[in-house]
Amino acid sequence: MAFLKLLRQSPLSARIGLAIVLLNLLAALLAPVIAPYGETESVADVWLSSSWDHPLGTDHLGRDLFTRVLYGARNTITIAFATTMLSFIIGSMVGFMAAAMGGWADLIISRIVDILMAFPTLIFALMALSVVGTSVMSLIGVIAVLDSTRVFRLSRAVAMDITVMEFVEAARLRGEGLFWVMRKEILPNAMPPLVAEFGLRFCFVFLFIASLSFLGLGIQPPTADWGGMVRENAGAITFGILTPLWPAGAIALLTVGVNLIVDWFLKIASGLKD
């Protein structure tokens, strides 16, 4: 009920963002039901135009593009969400720990993170994936570790402000342990900025995975992936065929939808009024 009340008071932009995200989630969840063909099934000639049998045409191997976009939503969103969750678990825990412990522990952890952040993220990811392989688990692990450095910076900065509060000092004087303080005192008070950052980091990870797939080191074929679909069908643009624009448009649309929701949440968390 509280959510419905909040939704009724939400601006039009937030409702549009929620509609876009829900549409993508439904496409991801119901892909096997909605898709008219199999994910890797070749059903017609290559790069056909839109028709009743193929609403978005076909790709470079004659696979139905509408089917591939649906399955691409399932694969890309699932992997991006899992990666973002893992990066937040790692980054926030280490950030809270560094802020709560302070001293040399904070200094050493912060310098290690600074070293990791000194390397360009894309180049670092390409090097790491070239070594550990391009499986889904490797992709999630490498991107999560790299992205956790950004989460660490935010969570540490927020936790540093919280650890000097009187209620945290009172908990320490009662003899509460480090992890109790992190879980019961720091985390609840750090949630608003972390939730907002989660939406932004999801967009970054989502686009980053699409970029890696476009370069050939992301989600590997024949698994459907929006970034990989753009790369596979890029040659169609030369002939005036719009095939790669459909997955590219899906990437852009989901990114816009998530950002609209994040903007709404930031406004609520900050207490600003219209």
Decide if 96 contacts 153 (C-beta within 8 A).
Answer: no
* Cα–Cα distance, 54 to 108 (Å, whole number): 57
User: Tokens 């989502």 label which residue?
Assistant: 206
| pLDDT computed for residue 14 by the predictor | 87
Q: Is the pLDDT of residue 149 over 90?
A: yes
Q: Is the pLDDT of residue 273 over 70?
A: no
Q: Is the pLDDT of residue 272 over 60?
A: no
* Cα–Cα distance, 182 to 190 (Å, whole number): 10
Decide if 243 contacts 233 (C-beta within 8 A).
Answer: yes
* Cα–Cα distance, 36 to 17 (Å, whole number): 27
pLDDT band for 212, please (50, 70, 90 cuts). Answer: confident
Q: Is the pLDDT of residue 126 over 90?
A: no
pLDDT band for 148, please (50, 70, 90 cuts). Answer: very high
Average of pLDDT values for 184-209? 85
* Cα–Cα distance, 18 to 108 (Å, whole number): 41
Q: What letter would DSSP give residue 239?
A: G
Higher per-residue confidence, 254 vs 219 = 254
Digit-coded pLDDT (tens) for 15-54: 999 999 999 999 999 999 999 999 989 888 889 888 898 9
Pick the closest to residue 101 from 173, 172, 170, 187 (CA basis): 172
Q: Is the pLDDT of residue 250 over 80?
A: yes
| pLDDT computed for residue 261 by the predictor | 87
Pick the closest to residue 249 from 56, 99, 75 (CA basis): 56
Domains of the chain: 75-270 (1.10.3720.10)
Highest mean pLDDT among 11-15, 45-49, 87-91, 257-261 belongs to 87-91
Q: Is the pLDDT of residue 194 over 90?
A: no
Question: By percentage, how much of the chain surpasses pLDDT 90?
Answer: 34
Mean pLDDT of the chain: 87
Q: Is the pLDDT of residue 251 over 80?
A: yes
| pLDDT computed for residue 270 by the predictor | 62
| pLDDT computed for residue 247 by the predictor | 92
* Cα–Cα distance, 184 to 174 (Å, whole number): 14
Q: Is the pLDDT of residue 91 over 90?
A: yes
Q: What is the DSSP string of 155-223?
A: HHHHHHHHHTSHHHHHHHHTT--HHHHIIIIIHHHHHHHHHHHHHHHHHHHHHHHHHHHHHTSSSPTTS
Report pTM.
0.85
* Cα–Cα distance, 161 to 190 (Å, whole number): 10
